[in-house]
Amino acid sequence: MGDALQRKGLHGVGLSEILAAAGTPKGGLYHHFPGGKTELAVAAIEQQVAELCALLDKLLPAASDPVAALELWTTRAQQLLAASGFQRGCPLATVALESEVDDIAIRKALADGFAAIRERLALAFQASGKIANAAGLAALIVAAYEGALLQARVAGSVAPMELVSATLFPLLRTQLQGNVHD
């Protein structure tokens, strides 16, 4: 379901499409997910977040600095987006944009997912030195990444992501160099 969420969003994916992709009868869905499509969507969001966090957990310690890891992350996202014909955006953003106030379980899964991503980024900045506002930098990065990814998807071009990366990463490096305290 994660791929369908990235392409169509929660409301764009029909139950019959989900069942066909899973090769599961309707009863099987409700057996494993008594909450129906909402519970399945929450599980898919949690799976997507787990995969993204695993990627960040791999990239962040392996890179020379957090910004280098972010460059790898955004380059990978650009490649995946272009390879999908600009159909697959961030599953969190796609679902978040169409979620409604009463989608409490879905909104909680999304909020928890974004928080997990921000937390990993903030921890990486803190580990690289005593950063004055690691949480703020992490929030800025996630907002810039999501906004650039959305614009790239709409434009059918990675140019918005390239522009944000070319602007944001030097600023982050300057911030890291200027905010390290003993």
CATH number at residue 105: 1.10.357.10
Residues 52-84 as b/e (b if ≥16 CB within 10 A, e otherwise) read beebbeebbeebebbbebbbbbbeebbeebeee
Q: What percent of the chain has pLDDT over 90?
A: 53
Is 28 a member of any domain?
Answer: no
Contact yes or no for 9/110 (Cβ under 8 A): no
Question: CA 82 → CA 66, 72, 95, distances in Å?
Answer: 24, 15, 20
Q: What does the pLDDT read at residue 36? A: 72
Q: Is the pLDDT of residue 48 over 50?
A: yes
103 occurs within a structural domain: yes
Q: Which residue has the tokens 């650039």?
A: 148
C-alpha 164 chain-centroid distance: 16
Confidence of residue 58 (pLDDT cuts 50, 70, 90): very high
pLDDT of res. 182: 41
Q: Which of 10-14, 62-66, 150-154, 165-169 has the lowest mean pLDDT?
A: 10-14
Domain assignment present for residue 11? The answer is no
More confidently predicted of 36 and 74: 74
Asked whether residue 6 is domain-assigned, the answer is no
Kindly state whether residue 35 falls inside one of the protein's structural domains. no
- What pLDDT is stored for residue 108 in this prediction? 97
Mean pLDDT, the chain, integer? 86
Higher pLDDT, 11 or 62: 62
pLDDT(1) > 60 = no
Q: Identify the domain containing residue 92 by its residue range.
A: 42-179
Whether residue 116 lies inside any domain: the answer is yes
pLDDT in the model for residue 130:
62
Query: For residue range 144-172, what is the model confidence (pLDDT) as tens digits?
Result: 999 999 999 999 999 999 999 999 999 99
**Residue 108 belongs to some domain of the structure:** yes
- Per the CB < 8 A criterion, the answer to whether 89 and 81 are in contact is yes
Instruction: Read off the pLDDT of each residue in 117-141 and give the average, rounded to a whole number.
Output: 90
Q: Can you give the pLDDT at residue 179?
A: 61
The share of the chain scoring above pLDDT 70, in percent, equals 86
In a domain, 144, yes or no: yes
Number of structural domains the chain divides into:
1
